[in-house]
Amino acid sequence: MKQTMDITKESTAESTVDYDRTKELKAFDDSKTGVKGLIDAGVDKVPKIFIRPPDELAEELKICQTSLQVPIIDLSGIEKEDRHQEVVQEVRIASEKWGFFQVVNHGIPCSVLDEIIDGIRMFHEQNPEVKKSYYTRDQMRRVRWETNYDLFQSRAANWRDTLNISMLVSDHLDPEEVPTACRASAIEYIKNVTKLGDTLFELLSEALGLKRDHLTAIECGGGRSFVGHYYPACPEPELTLGVSKHSDPAFLTVVLQDQLGGLQVMHQNQWVDVQPIHGGLVVNIGDLLQIISNDKFRSVDHRVLANNVGPRISMAFFFSGAFATPKLYGPIKELITEQNPPLYRNFLVSEYIGKFKAKALDESLLDHFKL
């Protein structure tokens, strides 16, 4: 705790010529207590490593906020052909125009959603000494607790901590590997969202004009990761972000957020609030689905605001495709014509995610794979 307090005192001091950002970042990382550790230490100012650059703060004033709403899609009745086709059309329009939509009546009980939110909260709020055993910057660890995976690449750290459960290399998850605070709720949630992913990929396949099983057959639903985010209340939320703007290095992401809100998506050069719906799940198109759809579907920037109330809890479930095998992905040949030639080169999922992890979160990667 003393180490955290020392970081705080140094970080909140006025800017001086001898300010050493790298030293502060290392001290924060070495504390292994995350952003919550700063709050537990009683900070009342945002440490300098979290403050967004002046040009970014100035640019913020030029971007409009809007009352537009992300599309909401009701999945009830999709076993009936007429309703099924209606939902396919809704998914197609949302994926083309927004890259985001919310689903309701998706089949996952509210009790499962409520329990995982409670479980992730309990993990992050347990004794720091217990959490430290999971703290690492080794991206190959299957279960890890981390704060800002891009801490040493970003221009400003984000105000959040994360529990990461990776099933990229193997679908098998040993329950004993999952922290006890959220073990039962996480395993049940992962099982349910995996099943929902199958349904979503069928709808997305049809929305692209492909056979219903196309995206599943090319293993878009494999290579899964589950992350449980914790956003502590922030004393100066206007100076930092919960998560910087970014798009996802996945085919598809399913997000559960609590009722606090803060998630925003960029639409028509405006930040749109993704209003929490109890029992609803947010779905967004990832970079990899934009590539294989040859830009028919859109992977768009999104972010999370910091808030002076909290904590905010959210879960993101990434479907990243075949990671452990040398499977090449690229624009789907059935979508390519003389009038619609391929826009991207072929790639390995491991290559894409490797490049993503080596850069700052807010740097786009799509252009790197364009022909």
Q: Does 34 fall in a domain?
A: no
Provide the percentage of residues in the chain whose pLDDT is more than 70: 95
Q: What is the average pLDDT across 113-141?
A: 95
* Helix 183-207 with 110-124: angle, nearest 10 deg: 130
What stretch of H or E contains 74? strand 72-74
**Structural domain count of the chain:** 1
Q: Indicate whether 151 pLDDT > 50.
A: yes
Q: What is the distance between the alpha carbons of residues 259 and 281, in angstroms, rounded to a whole number? A: 12
Q: Does 294 fall in a domain?
A: yes
pLDDT at 64: 67
Cβ contacts of 279 within 8 Å, gap of 6 or more = 104, 110, 113
Q: Does 91 fall in a domain?
A: yes
Q: Does 46 fall in a domain?
A: no
pLDDT at 47: 96
pLDDT at 280: 98
Q: What is the average pLDDT across 236-255?
A: 96
Q: What is the CATH number of the domain that holds 149?
A: 2.60.120.330
3-state secondary structure (DSSP) of residue 169: coil
Q: Does 175 fall in a domain?
A: yes
Asked whether 12 and 4 are in contact (CB, 8 A), the reply is: no
Q: What is the distance between the alpha carbons of residues 82 and 2, in angstroms, rounded to a whole number? A: 63
Helices assigned H by DSSP within 242-364: 287-292, 349-357
3-state secondary structure (DSSP) of residue 163: strand
Asked whether 46 and 240 are in contact (CB, 8 A), the reply is: yes
Q: Cα torsion at 238, 242, 248, 254 (round to 10°)?
A: -120
Write the pLDDT tens digit of every residue in 155-207. Answer: 999 999 999 999 988 888 899 999 999 999 999 999 999 999 999 999 999 99
pLDDT at 66: 72
Q: Does 16 fall in a domain?
A: no
Residue at 277: amino acid letter:
I
Q: Does 30 fall in a domain?
A: no
What residue numbers bound the domain in which 317 lies?
58-369
Peptide bond just before 128 cis, omega within 30 deg: no
Q: Does 47 fall in a domain?
A: no
Q: What is the distance between the alpha carbons of residues 163 and 33, in angstroms, rounded to a whole number? A: 13
